[in-house]
């Protein structure tokens, strides 16, 4: 059913039950996110896509549009909340873009530019969570994990459907784990999919890094915003 909502004051027509972050993108309004992937089930973990819906702050990846919704994206208070959430991701882990294999292909870095982050308002924690090099094709740089859950939910063993990636522990003690046996069975395509799906430099493909020159990297060629507005499925 066709419904109408307002997006930053502009009236738009869309389908009832569509996901708000998609509706916004389809209407030229980019809302940053670090966990949501168009075409895949909502994870609702990073909260970076928060907007105001009828005055209440909600993560736009979790909102199904309904007739008459008043959505504010650029409203300063909620825009600053999005920025704060990006900033806190930078300080909770270790994100040193200049030395990172993922630089130029990293969504956290790209979103950092999008929200015009200069530094983080939160204290840097410099965690030491340790690496895991045990699998043949991938390694985990755990200090960069933002716990988005993409790999946990979307990368599964092709035969059994079992989880290859998982989260151990809870809260601030949590850390990402990889099942080495299952990981070693991954096809080259799946290995690439996992590494590309990771929005930060946590899941890294071995023997690959710094392949594209600055200026020719993924988000140099086409920004995350452009990709989102073109409706690109991640």
If the CB atoms of residues 49 and 100 are measured against another protein, the closer one turns out to be: 49
The encoded tokens of residue 31 equal: 């809302």
Does residue 157 touch another protein according to CB under 8 A? yes
Cα 181 to Cα 29: distance, rounded to the nearest angstrom: 43
Residues 53-112 that bind another protein (CB under 8 A): 57, 59, 62, 64, 78, 81, 84-85, 88-89, 91-92
If the CB atoms of residues 172 and 211 are measured against another protein, the closer one turns out to be: 172
Per-residue x/- track, 158-197, another protein (CB under 8 A)? --xxxxx-xxxxxxxxx--xxx--x---------------
Per-residue x/- track, 25-44, another protein (CB under 8 A)? -----------------xxx
Cα 89 to Cα 144: distance, rounded to the nearest angstrom: 9
Closest approach, Cβ 209 to another protein, in A, equals 26
Cα 126 to Cα 94: distance, rounded to the nearest angstrom: 6
Residue numbers of the site for another protein (CB under 8 A)?
42-48, 50, 57, 59, 62, 64, 78, 81, 84-85, 88-89, 91-92, 121-123, 125, 146-147, 149, 157, 160-164, 166-174, 177-179, 182
């Amino acid at each position: 059913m066709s419904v109408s909502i307002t997006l930053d004051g502009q009236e738009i027509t869309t389908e009832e039950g569509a996901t708000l972050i998609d509706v916004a993108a389809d209407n030229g309004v980019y809302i940053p996110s670090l966990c949501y992937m168009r075409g895949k089930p909502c994870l609702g973990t990073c909260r970076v896509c928060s907007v105001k819906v009828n005055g209440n702050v909600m993560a736009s990846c979790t909102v199904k549009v309904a007739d008459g919704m008043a959505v504010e994206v650029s409203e300063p208070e909620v825009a600053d909340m999005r920025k704060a959430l990006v900033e806190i991701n930078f300080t909770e882990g270790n994100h040193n873009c200049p030395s990172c294999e993922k630089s130029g292909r990293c969504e956290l870095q790209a979103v950092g530019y999008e929200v015009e982050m200069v530094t983080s308002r939160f204290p840097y924690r410099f965690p030491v969570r340790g690496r895991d090099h045990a699998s043949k094709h991938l390694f985990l740089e755990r200090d960069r994990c933002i716990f988005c859950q993409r790999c946990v939910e979307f990368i599964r063993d092709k035969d059994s459907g079992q989880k290859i990636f998982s989260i151990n522990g809870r809260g601030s003690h949590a850390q990402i784990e990889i099942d080495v046996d299952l990981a070693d069975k991954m096809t080259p395509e799946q290995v690439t999919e996992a590494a590309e799906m990771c929005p930060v430099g946590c899941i890294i493909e071995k023997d690959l890094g710094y392949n594209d020159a600055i200026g020719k990297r993924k988000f140099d060629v086409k920004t995350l915003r452009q990709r989102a507005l073109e409706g690109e499925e991640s």
